[in-house]
A and B are shown apart, each in its own frame.
Chain A
């Protein structure tokens, strides 16, 4: 089966890309993956499948991606270095390509102590940048780590994450530059709520010319409630939610807060479209995937290109 990355196709044609995140179920439930995929079909270009996100055991990303592929969707395999050593990672990279999966997002992963297996051993044989380098070497040089030749190279569009909101701020762009140098071709950022800081970061990105070397997709998570905004503001590391956003959410009655969250999300997409170097958005509507088609529609991003 000839297969190509829809995400790469959309981005290289100069369209503003839309990707969404899909969390696999906590069980051997293929239908749950397929249903989420069908819900997103037509509304997005590609679908990221998380890899045991927050260290919680779920159906594996590789299998979920294969299920989405069968549905005619373009999955993005998220792969973390927390759980597998370089033998398993490289093996899964080959397997993913063989199954027709054409995108990979290389991550180090949330620390195991945050999940439901806190006593597990964190592997971290490679870090995320080394994983990017590995996939790139496998694809470009047809070689695994150590130099052994592959009988066939994997065909994968290589992605990485960037968090403009972690500290120290000046370093965040250096880290992304390293990812680009290692071989990343697209970037999906941490959730953007603090647009001002994101804009400052994008200035640094453009100063280094990185916006011309990598496709940057702004990450967004619609807020469901004022409570969620407050929780994320105070409890989630690496998350930057300005106080005025919490105040805005609190300012509407509880039953209208979801609506307000979607509205904020749509406004942010429109603001991102105006920023030079932002080539798309990545929607992480956690356990709220049904919100995605509506957001994309209201943002005026339908229909998606073929």
Chain B
């Protein structure tokens, strides 16, 4: 999933200050799973903003709505007719959600309430871990399903570096060395032969952040 964290309240208050009528829009997908932008968080943020407005005697009107997905047109369309009644939208979607809503309603400022962080997993209650960089060239099967790009501090394809000691990363001693996990994983699977291969340089042109990537599939059109 895409993970995100809510911005500090002060930053959000500064961001919304030019606007009186605010539509607060949550997203029921990834950011609900990571407890930053779902219906519950929309409610909590709405209360906090109204409380602040009262305390600072600012005039403010809010309405809360949570879409199932903020990044898909069919769901965004539910805001049609509603959004015009507000000065701005405070979105608790990820960066993709904010931009998707903004594209549909270009007349209305869409304000991001979250900082979008990474692709990750819910490890346990209250703990999310980054484990994918969206490199566009997945080779997890060669590395015992441990991503060297995301989880090795030097993104080594032929690791580990000389700093791996006692199974820990020298850069982040509280984190296991990714290559230690790769090696122990391959050992458990009886596939140590994979360690002997020299992996060639990666093709970073497919990677997240390199450009404006898109997926086109005619079978889905």
> B195: which A residues are within 8 A, CB to CB?
171, 174
A168, B183: Cβ atoms closer than 8 Å: yes
Bound: A124/B152 CA distance, A: 11
* Smallest CB separation, A118 vs chain B (Å): 10
What is the CA–CA distance of A161 and B180 in the complex, to the nearest angstrom?
19
A residues 136-179 in Cβ contact with B at 8 Å? 145, 161, 163, 165-168, 171, 174-175, 177-178
The reply to whether A127 and B154 contact each other, CB–CB distance below 8 Å, is yes
**B12-44 vs A: 1/0 string, CB under 8 Å?**
000000000000000000000000000000000
Q: Do A238 and B163 touch across chains, with their CB atoms under 8 A apart?
A: yes
Contact, CB under 8 Å: B184 / A190: no
Task: Confirm or deny: A237 has a beta carbon within 8 angstroms of a beta carbon on chain B.
Answer: yes
Residue from B157, B162, B171, B197 in contact with A166 in the complex, judged by beta carbons closer than 8 Å: B162
Chain A nearest CB, measured from B45 CB (Å): 31
A190 to B162, CA, bound (A): 8
- Which residues does chain A contribute within 8 Å of B198, judged by CB atoms? 129-130, 133, 178, 181-182
Contact A167:B167 (CB < 8 A) given known A130-B157, A174-B195: yes
With A177-B196, A237-B165 already in contact, the answer to whether A113 and B171 are too (CB < 8 A) is: yes
Set of chain A residues within 8 Å of B154, measured between Cβ atoms? 82, 108-109, 111, 122, 124, 127
Task: Identify whether the interface residues of B are mostly helix, strand, loop, or mixed.
Answer: loop
A111 to B184, Cβ gap below 8 A? no
User: Does B93 make an interface contact (CB < 8 A)?
Assistant: no
Tell me how many residues of B have a C-beta within 8 Å of chain A.
30
Chain B CB within 8 A of A41 CB: no
A81 CB to nearest chain B CB (Å): 8
Least CB distance, B172 to chain A, in whole angstroms: 9
Tell me how many residues of A have a C-beta within 8 Å of chain B. Answer: 35
In chain B, positions 151-199 with a C-beta closer than 8 Å to chain A are 153-167, 170-171, 177, 180, 183-184, 195-199
Given A108-B156, A167-B164; A237-B170 close (CB under 8 Å) = yes
Q: Assess the A174–B196 pair: CB atoms within 8 A.
A: yes
A126 lies within 8 A of chain B by Cβ: yes
Extra contacts besides A127-B155, A128-B156 (9): CB < 8 Å: A111-B153, A111-B163, A122-B153, A130-B198, A165-B162, A166-B160, A167-B180, A168-B184, A238-B165
Q: Which 4 residue pairs spanning A and B have beta carbons closest together?
A: A163-B162, A237-B170, A129-B158, A237-B163
30 example contacts (A-B, Cβ-Cβ < 8 A) are as follows: A86-B201, A108-B154, A108-B161, A109-B154, A111-B153, A111-B154, A111-B163, A114-B171, A122-B154, A124-B156, A128-B156, A129-B158, A130-B158, A130-B198, A130-B200, A163-B162, A165-B162, A166-B161, A166-B163, A166-B164, A167-B165, A167-B167, A168-B183, A178-B197, A178-B198, A181-B198, A182-B198, A237-B162, A238-B162, A238-B164
